Structure 1
Amino acid sequence: METLIEEIYALEILDSRGNPTLRVYVELFDGTKEFSSVPSGASTGQNEALELRDNDKRYGGKGVLKAVNNVNTTIADALIGMDATKQKDIDYTMIELDGTENKSKLGANAILGVSMAIAKAAAKSLNLPLYQYLGGTNAVRIPVPCMNILNGGEHADNSVDFQEFMLVPHGAPTFTEGLRYVAETFHTLKSILKKRKLATSVGDEGGFAPDCESNEAAIELIIEAIKKAGFKPGKDLSIAVDNAANSFCTNLKDNYNLVWSGKGKVTSDDIIDLAGEWLEKYPIILWEDPLAEKDYKGFKKFTKKYGDKIEVVGDDIFVTNTKYIKDGIKKNLANSCLIKLNQIGTVTETIEAVRMCRDAGWRYFLSHRSGETEDTFLADFAVAMDGGHLKTGSACRGERIAKYNRLLEIEHELGDRAEYRWS
């Protein structure tokens, strides 16, 4: 068969932070060649699938030559001759080959690189765009871009505790216009920061990283930028927040410490109350990881209080793993799950996580990682999964812009069939 796998190999490359990652190449018997590159996270959940690192002197121990070797030997030996269009069979062959719960033997980075590259090769061989190959002929919904505009936490060296403040152009008529809304507001914010003599340097995901007087001051800057750019807060553009609460919770359960804002040690209830105050004052429509991954009681209380008003997203608490998502659905811990391919390690398992959310009536929020590459797989995947929104960084840094530009291409390809809506 023409779609049988003829060759698989990997190289060590660098991600957007200058750290090593993998690029995996696949060739099929019909001559089709494709490759995919693997992202890496900084703010990670304890139960994420394991990135295999070398832990030697190279790159401060962050080299991935062990993972590269696993692709070039163990994985290649098992997969060569298999049909690239049998994605589930391929992915579960690698899962069984690894044999660990968190893919620590072969490395989730090795497995995911192969999984994505094979999907891209199969789509190309069948002369289908990747979003249509993975999502079918009805994959026409372009996600609303939740653009990172201001960074804090582990993504920036500044005085903001919360990790991400995002712009959400849900009021735009198309993705193309939505991207314009957020890009124009991004540049307007830069001018505001300059005028106030605040830093205009950016964090890992391209958002600005100024030293603000408080976490709330970050939101006030964004609201000012929205208005100055000529848009209406809450109508054209709203805000999404990612606390990434693990980063300021020492025991990942109930010991919170908002160092930079000056509040110091706070409780789950304090954070929940703070959220209530902000929701009354600002057009926030999504809140990710408001509490730490083991603070089940806090998550449940937060969702009970605000889940009928906003999207409450679990990231570190669920790590794109159906085992944890199923438990979260049962316990009403959230109403949405962040979806990251490299948290679980295969295309198939990521799709299964999406389906579980969909079947439960939950939303699912497709996401990049802070350590990214120029690979655009995520853009096509977001369209294929029909989730309605995506976060893939700010209006700068090439590895982020590559995804936005791919979505512009997809919207153009779909023409009048393209849909753009928040829900």
Structure 2
Amino acid sequence: MEPGGQPRQQRKLQGPRQEAAEFYRRQQVPQRLEEALNALYPLRPADLYGELANYFSKISKAPVICKVFGRKVLDGVGQPTLEVEIHCTVKNHEKRISSAVMSSHSQIPENASAQTTEADEKERNDSVTTAVIWVNESLNTMLKDLEPTDQCKVDKMLGEYFTEKAEENKEIKKQAAGEAEATLLPLTSDTPSTTALPGKKKAAKAGKKVAVAERTIPPADPAEPVLCGSLAIGGTSLAVAKAGATISHTPLYLYITLLKHGEDSPKEMTLPLPMVTVLHCEKMASAKLKLVKEIMLIPPVQLSLKQGLERVLDIQKEMMRLFEPPGKEQPSPQMTASKKGKTHNTGKKALPQALKRISHLGCLMTGCDNLEEPLLLMQTACNNIGLELGTDMYLAMNCAAHELMDYAQGKYEILTGTFRSPDEMVDMYVELINKFPSIIALIDPLRKEDRQQWSNICCALGSKCYLIAEDAATCVSKLKIDQNRNIPMCSGVVLKYINQTKISDLIELTGLLDGQRHITILGSPDGESSDDSLVDLAVGVGARFIKLGGLSRGERVTKYNRLLAVEEELATNRRLREANLDFVTFAEEPQPEKQPSDVPSAPTQDSLSPQRSQPALHVPSLPALPP
């Protein structure tokens, strides 16, 4: 009985207590508790609390984001970049769930002036500072109380926020331009006579360049502007994806696969083949070679990743031995002969000179006198340890042709003082592949503006090697928005997770590339960080290759270690499927005046490995990338 004489069971509940009682009644908590206790009765007392915790955790409230925190950190080359942390409310307690460090991507021309380098460093520092402000203020408020597993909603909100900031930036620039124009108008109107005289001189100079105008080439597209603070968008999207994977108790690569394919996710997964950089041929005073920026090794698909990397390390050690001069007190006779030009007509080629430092790409830097020297070096190193290029190991070249164009000459300067027109470049590559058939990938063999030459080289070499565009596909989010960007006909593109790229953008674009039978390569930016998420992204979206740099420097080696861990996990779960190296045969041009078709035909049966069928990808029918 209650103090007032009223039976306890007849007491009426009011307000929040009544609502709580109704909630427990609807949820059938007493019945569940009774079931749990009955199930726990035969267990030992020591197991009781753990089993109770596991039982009630299943019916607890889903974790939600309670704080998004950003800070400035340093990347692998000592440049500032952004780290984003995601804190969630888990069982009424705030907990740090995940963090992501963005990689910085900055293409500074080689031998750039001190002023250019200083301006770039200031711009990068300002961008990171702005990104930290965005994360700690606007994005922290915007994403609060959202579930980290709702990636689509998070990315949509991030995209809307970025669009708003981009519009604000346009308005600011428009106002600044208007003010500058108003300031300059009186000066131009007061001095008509002084501007007329230089105009005549310019016209005269233009007349002298008629011969050069006959071989005009398409001008380079202007550099894509990067909005200050855009790192906040990509960093937050990646950190939320890692938080969603952690809360779902799922590896990030499998979480990305589920986001891309949903219920149609393949039961078996393929690891991307690594493009391991072993030589970085920089343009330096002692290095005449300019055409080749990177020489990479690709292990055969028959080997496991672990076996392939061990083979690459063996080749790398042999290369280091070959780089050592025969005597410390006297110069190498091979190098002396190469300077005199005698080795070009003999069977023995001079070895390039190794520079005693490691590139930021994590490999040895070297300089060469001609295009064949680094390739012959690789061939010699493989032969010395009993390997054969084209069977036991394959080659890939990053030509970076967009860095070689001499716009005054209208040609590529492949060597110091040696120029080639775009059409001559195609012939040179055809000759090179015929001489070195072990080369199965060329990255950026031409500028993206030389569209006709891309079509020609695809028709000539598409069935022998992959022709990959990297410079044309720097920004993932802009490629997704505008598929009619200046992407030439190619076998595939290198995608980089930088700036305002979101996880949804990467998934959507790789789906489009799958539907157009283009291969996807995920590339590591120049300013790499220690975050190994790029490997999970590559495995999750089903990339054919992954380009991580060399097997030195911690920020790059940690990604190779993550790739090895994923291989071991997939092999243990029996979900690992062997990759393939099928090439694409492009349609031949019926007539010279007609544009070639930009839709490649189905892969040929002439491949470097046993054929394995690809899983069906459920993507919409979309137009192919423009030629």
Give the alignment's TM-score, normalised by structure 2: 0.61
Show the counterpart of 1:182.
Answer: 312
Q: Does the C-alpha gap of structure 1 residues 123 and 228 become closer, same or farther in structure 2, counting only changes over 3 Å? A: same
Determine whether 1:191 maps to 2:321. yes
Q: State the 1:323 CA deviation.
A: 5.0
Q: Does the C-alpha gap of structure 1 residues 179 and 343 become closer, same or farther in structure 2, counting only changes over 3 Å? A: farther
Distance in 2 of aligned mates of 1:181 and 1:171: 13
- For 1:165, which of 295, 312, 325 is the aligned residue? 295
Determine whether 1:146 maps to 2:300. no
Q: Does the C-alpha gap of structure 1 residues 224 and 23 become closer, same or farther in structure 2, counting only changes over 3 Å? A: same
Distance in 2 of aligned mates of 1:305 and 1:291: 14
Aligned residue identity for 1:117: A
Alignment partner of 1:29: what SS?
Answer: strand
Show the counterpart of 1:347.
Answer: 503
- For 2:577, which of 399, 419, 422 is the aligned residue? 419
Alignment partner of 1:322: what SS?
Answer: helix
Q: Does the C-alpha gap of structure 1 residues 252 and 110 become closer, same or farther in structure 2, counting only changes over 3 Å? A: farther
Distance in 2 of aligned mates of 1:252 and 1:163: 22
Moved more, 98-107 or 9-18: 98-107
Show the counterpart of 2:421.
Answer: 267
Alignment partner of 1:373: what SS?
Answer: coil
Counterpart mapping for 1:283-294 below 5 A: 283-294=438-449
Aligned residue identity for 1:165: I
Distance in 2 of aligned mates of 1:200 and 1:265: 30
C-alpha contact 2:256 2:540 (8 A) present in aligned 1: yes
Q: Does the C-alpha gap of structure 1 residues 240 and 146 become closer, same or farther in structure 2, counting only changes over 3 Å? A: same
Q: Does the C-alpha gap of structure 1 residues 110 and 237 become closer, same or farther in structure 2, counting only changes over 3 Å? A: same
Q: Does the C-alpha gap of structure 1 residues 124 and 10 become closer, same or farther in structure 2, counting only changes over 3 Å? A: same
C-alpha contact 2:232 2:499 (8 A) present in aligned 1: no
Alignment partner of 1:201: what SS?
Answer: strand
Show the counterpart of 1:362.
Answer: 518
- For 1:21, which of 51, 75, 81 is the aligned residue? 81
Show the counterpart of 2:129.
Answer: 65
After superposition, the C-alpha distances for 1:316-352 in whole angstroms (9 at most, x for unaligned) are 11333135655678xx611211111116611111111
Aligned residue identity for 1:84: P
Q: Pairwise CA RMSD of aligned residues?
A: 2.8
Q: Does the C-alpha gap of structure 1 residues 323 and 242 become closer, same or farther in structure 2, counting only changes over 3 Å? A: farther
Show the counterpart of 1:322.
Answer: 480
Show the counterpart of 1:281.
Answer: 435
Moved more, 229-238 or 188-197: 188-197
Distance in 1 of aligned mates of 2:241 and 2:494: 22
Distance in 1 of aligned mates of 2:108 and 2:257: 28
C-alpha contact 1:151 1:165 (8 A) present in aligned 2: yes
Show the counterpart of 2:555.
Answer: 399
C-alpha contact 1:98 1:104 (8 A) present in aligned 2: no
C-alpha contact 1:151 1:209 (8 A) present in aligned 2: yes
C-alpha contact 1:39 1:372 (8 A) present in aligned 2: yes
Q: Does the C-alpha gap of structure 1 residues 24 and 174 become closer, same or farther in structure 2, counting only changes over 3 Å? A: same
Aligned residue identity for 1:390: I
Q: Does the C-alpha gap of structure 1 residues 59 and 248 become closer, same or farther in structure 2, counting only changes over 3 Å? A: closer
Q: State the 1:113 CA deviation.
A: 0.8
Determine whether 1:305 maps to 2:460. yes
Identity %: 24
After superposition, the C-alpha distances for 1:182-229 in whole angstroms (9 at most, x for unaligned) are 122122211111246632422221121112112321111122222223
Q: Which has the larger radius of gyration?
A: 2
C-alpha contact 2:282 2:366 (8 A) present in aligned 1: no
Distance in 2 of aligned mates of 1:159 and 1:409: 40
After superposition, the C-alpha distances for 1:362-415 in whole angstroms (9 at most, x for unaligned) are 111111111101100011111112223211011111111101100111111122
C-alpha contact 1:252 1:294 (8 A) present in aligned 2: no
> Mind listing any 5+ residue stretches in structure 2 that lack a counterpart?
1-60, 110-116, 168-223, 259-264, 326-350, 582-627
Distance in 2 of aligned mates of 1:356 and 1:69: 34
Show the counterpart of 1:49.
Answer: none
Aligned residue identity for 1:271: M
Alignment partner of 1:210: what SS?
Answer: strand
Q: State the 1:86 CA deviation.
A: 1.8
- For 1:374, which of 530, 533, 544 is the aligned residue? 530
Alignment partner of 1:341: what SS?
Answer: coil
Q: State the 1:3 CA deviation.
A: 3.5
C-alpha contact 1:199 1:209 (8 A) present in aligned 2: yes
Higher RCO (CA 8 Å, separation ≥ 6 residues): 1
Moved more, 132-141 or 356-365: 132-141
Q: State the 1:27 CA deviation.
A: 1.2
Alignment partner of 2:391: what SS?
Answer: coil
Show the counterpart of 1:51.
Answer: none
Q: Does the C-alpha gap of structure 1 residues 220 and 311 become closer, same or farther in structure 2, counting only changes over 3 Å? A: same
Q: Does the C-alpha gap of structure 1 residues 190 and 360 become closer, same or farther in structure 2, counting only changes over 3 Å? A: same
Alignment partner of 1:36: what SS?
Answer: strand
Show the counterpart of 2:393.
Answer: 237
Q: Does the C-alpha gap of structure 1 residues 80 and 144 become closer, same or farther in structure 2, counting only changes over 3 Å? A: same
Q: State the 1:253 CA deviation.
A: 12
Q: State the 1:355 CA deviation.
A: 0.7
Q: Does the C-alpha gap of structure 1 residues 171 and 224 become closer, same or farther in structure 2, counting only changes over 3 Å? A: farther
Distance in 1 of aligned mates of 2:159 and 2:284: 31
Alignment partner of 1:278: what SS?
Answer: helix
Distance in 1 of aligned mates of 2:409 and 2:486: 16
Q: Does the C-alpha gap of structure 1 residues 384 and 96 become closer, same or farther in structure 2, counting only changes over 3 Å? A: same
Distance in 2 of aligned mates of 1:171 and 1:86: 36
Distance in 1 of aligned mates of 2:500 and 2:379: 35
Q: State the 1:420 CA deviation.
A: 3.5
Q: State the 1:276 CA deviation.
A: 0.9
C-alpha contact 1:170 1:422 (8 A) present in aligned 2: no
C-alpha contact 1:167 1:182 (8 A) present in aligned 2: yes
Show the counterpart of 1:209.
Answer: 365
Show the counterpart of 1:35.
Answer: 99
Show the counterpart of 1:218.
Answer: 374
Moved more, 352-361 or 169-178: 169-178
After superposition, the C-alpha distances for 1:226-283 in whole angstroms (9 at most, x for unaligned) are 222332100111111111122112559954222xx23533211122122111101111
Q: Does the C-alpha gap of structure 1 residues 68 and 402 become closer, same or farther in structure 2, counting only changes over 3 Å? A: same
After superposition, the C-alpha distances for 1:38-78 in whole angstroms (9 at most, x for unaligned) are 11224489xxxxxxxxx999964531211111111122222
